[in-house]
Structure 1
Amino acid sequence: MTDADEQGSAAVRLLWGPPARPARGPKRGLTLEGIAEAGVALADAEGLAGVSMQGVAGRLSVTKMALYRYVPGKAELVALMVESAMPDPSVLDERSAGEDWRERLGVWARALLAGFRAHPWLLEATVGARVMGPGEVGWMEHALDALDGCGLTGSEAIDSVVLLSGHVRGIAEQERATGGTVGEGPDAQLTSALGEVMRVHGERYPALRAALGSVAEQGGQDQALDFGLERILDGLGLLIAGRRAG
């Protein structure tokens, strides 16, 4: 078994198995929930790069070796942190009960963005091949359930969820890169970044100058999430309508 396989098995046991007990030695009163919460607090304060076993142990007032008795390494620690920080998918059922597939996916996308805004380090922690916990899998289940009965193949339904999550991640990444400003869309940010260039060289780029001028007149409202989300859902709607007609 490779190191990656061993890490995956350890993460599966921590996320999906019964409550962990210390690997050896007397019980110190730690819980996986408490460890995850300490990691989340550290990541919120210092980013994912600032998270270490030593740092989490310090927040819990235990030694690093005591922490290792519960969590074998940083990869498993981050997996626990993701599970702790992701919003409970059950809130989606409360917000979208009785709605159609389009409205349910809209609720899903906006709630996902709220999660990334609350914990921006989740953007780094939820990429690549890794083990996902019940909460994160529950998010995928909710989106796929919204598309159930729409006539899409399994592959198309999963690709639809990936497309939606990619749009949400893109908005969250841009907000994070510009200091986490919420309420100022990419269009307003572009206007600010290109303001001087357009004043001096705007005649060379008349279409861009006109578009940015319109944004400035409208106050640079944050429309990027909704505009992209509605266009994605429009496309899915056409596909679903075609399948149902067929």
Structure 2
Amino acid sequence: MATEHDSVAASIELLWQEPVIGKRGPRPKFTIEGIVAAATAIADEDGLDAVTMQRVAERLGTAKMALYRYVPGRAELDAVLLDRALGGPPASPEGDWRSALAAWTLALHERSLEHPWSVTLAQRPHVPGPGELAWYESGLRAMGDLPLSGGEQLDVLALLAGHAQSMVRQRAGGPHPELDLADRLGPVLAARSADYPRTSAAFADAARGGGRDAALHFGIDRLLAGVAALIAERTDRARA
């Protein structure tokens, strides 16, 4: 029986294998990229739970056992599936660290929206591949001159990524989660506004001020403002 260590080793081999050039012998019938493309199509159409080795094999017109020559199992397939879904980050825009990290977070949100199931895979224990590590490298580069430890920089990325991905989860039911919630709550709050006065007032104010569905940008701004406050505090302390 394969152990967790075996699965990690197999995932690393799949994610980081170098392309073989000029190898002699019969050409493989399938490729990792082709298998991942089939799995991605199934996940996009029917959700992550629909992705099984059997379904992927059927989509490729082969028997399930034929795929194990290329992918040892579902855990290894998931690792490559996530890395291909994330791809690499876009080039960082010109500007300061705050604008670079804001753009990084928005780009991750947009990339995750293309394949919402990738959020589930990203939040499971997994082996990062070259695409995911490129996101790390890009985000860390933006903080290269900041008075933050390596661990703190990773924490900043974890907070930003977690916020972006939680917004993707919220949008799973539709493009305007706060508006949808307000519509569902409307009749309840109208009838029971005396019992929930603050909630009724907050939803009414959001509707008047156009503040609905702004949580993504609001969260990014507040997180980065918190980092900026920490940097200012350390700078002032160092000067003192």
Structures share a fold, TM > 0.5? yes
Distance in 1 separating the partners of 2:20 and 2:46: 27
Question: Does structure 1 conserve the Cα–Cα contact (< 8 Å) formed by 2:109 and 2:165?
Answer: yes
Query: What aligned pairs does 1:19-98 form with structure 2 within 5 A after superposition?
Result: 19=19, 27-89=27-89, 91=90, 93=91, 96-98=92-94
- CA displacement at 1:190 relative to structure 2: 3.1
In the aligned structure 2, how far is the partner of 1:43 from the partner of 1:144?
31
- Contact 2:189/2:200 (CA < 8 Å) preserved in 1? yes
Shift of 1:29: 2.7
Question: Relative to 1, partners in 2 of residues 1:119 and 1:240: Cα closer, same or farther, differing over 3 Å?
Answer: same
Find the counterpart in structure 1 of residue 197 from structure 2: 206
Report the 3-state secondary structure (helix = DSSP H, G, I; strand = E; otherwise coil) of the residue aligned with 1:203: coil
Q: Does 1:154 align with 2:150?
A: yes
One-letter amino acid matched to 2:162: G
2:187 counterpart SS class: helix
Deviation digits for residues 185-232 of structure 1 (CA, Å, limit 9, x no counterpart): 53x233223211111110122222111111222456421101111010
Equivalent residue of 2:192, what SS? Answer: helix
Structure 2 residue identity aligned to 1:155: G
Question: Is 1:127 paired with 2:123?
Answer: yes
Structure-1 residue corresponding to 2:227:
236
The gaps in structure 1 that reach 5 residues or longer are: none
User: For the Cα contact (< 8 Å) 1:85–1:119, is it kept in 2?
Assistant: yes
Cα distance between partner residues in 2 of 1:123 and 1:65: 28
* Alignment deviations for residues 36-64 of structure 1 (CA, whole Å, 9 cap, x no partner): 11111111111110001111112222221
- Name the aligned partner's letter for residue 74 of structure 2: K
Identity %: 40
> How many residues in Structure 1 have an aligned counterpart in Structure 2?
234
Structure 2: stretches of 5+ with no match in the other structure: none
Matched residues in 2 for 1:218 and 1:229: separation? 20
- Bigger drift between 210-219 and 74-83 goes to 210-219
Alpha-carbon distance in 1 for matches of 2:204, 2:86: 38
How big is the alpha-carbon RMSD for the aligned residues of Structure 1 and Structure 2?
2.0
* TM-score scaled by length of structure 2: 0.90
